[in-house]
Amino acid sequence: MKKYLNVALIYAIAAMAGGVFYREFTKFNGFEGVTVLGKVHTHLFLLGMLLFLVISLFAARYKLEEIRLCRICMPIYHSGIVLTAVMMEVRGITEVLGSSLSGGATAAISGIAGIGHVALGAGIVLLILSLKKAAARREEKSE
């Protein structure tokens, strides 16, 4: 449980840093439009901090570390959220700076962000399957 609370704290700090960066970077550059940078903050809070706070509640009740599928899903999920957030930052910075990107660069940013989203989705599915397995184990032991 403590491990998941520590991870939630790290994502909360990253989310706050993302929010401060968004506010200060747009202010410094005199940008007043909508940008992807504004969504990094909420993505990290919800997909990072909030999810791991919920997982810590499950970890307190079920022994998630004993489930192999859970140990597999965590690195996949973490890589997905980090890759997605980094690509959102890259896209947002180019928007704020008004950088004109080539079609290939735009496609590369979108493609890498897409890979991050796929990893996030796979991690979520594996996490849910892990929780189902943990619940089934707990029911077997109580019978």
> What mean pLDDT is reported for the chain?
92
* The dihedral sign for the CA sequence 89, 90, 93, 98: negative
User: Worst-scoring range by mean pLDDT, 17-26, 41-50, 55-64, 69-78?
Assistant: 55-64
75-96 tens-digit pLDDT: 999 999 999 999 999 999 999 9
Q: What is the pLDDT of residue 61?
A: 84
98-114 tens-digit pLDDT: 988 999 999 999 999 99
118-130 tens-digit pLDDT: 999 999 999 999 9
Distance (Å, rounded) from C-alpha 44 to C-alpha 46? 6
Domain-by-domain residue ranges, the chain?
Answer: 2-137
pLDDT greater than 90 at residue 136: no
Q: What is the pLDDT of residue 115?
A: 96
Helices assigned H by DSSP within 63-102: 68-97
Determine contact, residues 67/127, Cβ cutoff 8 Å: no
Q: What is the pTM of this model?
A: 0.89
In the structure, what pLDDT confidence band is assigned to residue 143 with cuts at 50, 70 and 90?
A: low
Return the amino acid letter for 15: A
- Could you identify the residue written with the tokens 């960066």? 21
Nearest to 36, CA basis, from 81, 82, 96, 80: 96
